[in-house]
Amino acid sequence: MLTLHYAPNSRAGRIVWLLKELDLPFEMNAMRFHPEDLKSADHRKRHPLGRVPVLDDDDVQIYESGAIIEYVLARHAPGKLKPAVDDAEFPAYLQWFHYCEGMVMPPINTIVVQTLLLPPDRRDETVLQQAKKLLGKALAPVNEALQNQDYVAGEFSAADIMLGHACIMSGRLGVVGDDMAHLTAYIDRLLARPACAEAFAA
């Protein structure tokens, strides 16, 4: 049985979404997004930095959301939610799968720190505005790529779970502007998927 160690409003939502898309049974160890839970001795045995998600699969324990997604697809859902290596969409799949963590998530992390995690007296408005500007620039190529297609690599794939989760979070942070109509439609399309809606409601 798969067990997902999870906290709300985190990258662990990607794994809930993935497992529900694949209809794989799993148990969830739901924790608070709080140091008392995430930095506890028990959880640090699972992840040395006290982060989520962490996935248990019998004697395997793995963390990092992208690595977990690749692991689940390879071990439990071969051929699903990922184009074949010789498919014309495979390069786009790889690109957008990794673009998320490389380009989109860093400014999101800064925005979250500057608006939610730091106490008001330690927040820096200049840093916040720089992060919002950087996030807008990072999302512009995604908006352009979606101009003539519903998903980033042909059919719906795990790249949409990785990148789509970050796009939805960007929208909730108020950074998806009116000039990003294709990205807005993409977010709506993803949230209309039952597995995605359930993951964000978890």
Whether the bond between 83 and the residue before it is cis, its omega within 30 degrees of 0, is no
Nearest Cα residue to 164 out of 99, 116, 114: 99
Candidate CATH numbers 3.40.50.300, 2.60.40.10, 1.10.390.10, 1.20.1050.10; the one for domain 90-201: 1.20.1050.10
**Residues 64, 6, 202, 35: is their CA dihedral positive or negative?**
negative
pLDDT value for 202: 82
pLDDT at 156: 98
Instruction: Say yes or no to pLDDT of 30 above 90.
Output: yes
Sheet harboring 54-57: ordered strands across? 26-30, 2-6, 54-57, 60-63
Tens-digit pLDDT profile for residues 140-169: 999 999 999 999 999 999 999 999 999 999
C-alpha to C-alpha distance for 57 and 26, rounded to whole angstroms = 10
Q: What does the pLDDT average to over 43-71?
A: 97
Neighbours of 129 (CB within 10 A): 12
The 8-class DSSP code of residue 120 comes to G
Looking at residue 101, its pLDDT comes to 97
Specify the pLDDT at position 157.
98
Quick one: what percent of the chain has pLDDT higher than 90?
A: 96
Q: For residue 100, give both structure tokens.
A: 């998320």
Convert the pLDDT of each residue in 172-192 to its tens digit.
999 998 999 999 999 999 999
**CA nearest to 44, candidates 25, 57, 31:** 31
User: 2-76: what CATH class?
Assistant: alpha beta
So where are the chain's domains?
A: 2-76, 90-201
Helix (H) or strand (E) holding 26: strand 26-30
Cβ distance 168 to 200 under 8 Å?
yes
Question: What are the pLDDT digits (tens) for 94-141?
Answer: 999 999 999 999 999 999 999 999 999 999 999 999 999 999 999 999
pLDDT at 33: 87
Report the C-alpha gap between 167 and 176 in whole angstroms.
Answer: 8
Rounded CA-CA distance 142/10 in Å is: 21
Please indicate whether residue 194 or residue 117 has the higher confidence score (pLDDT). 194
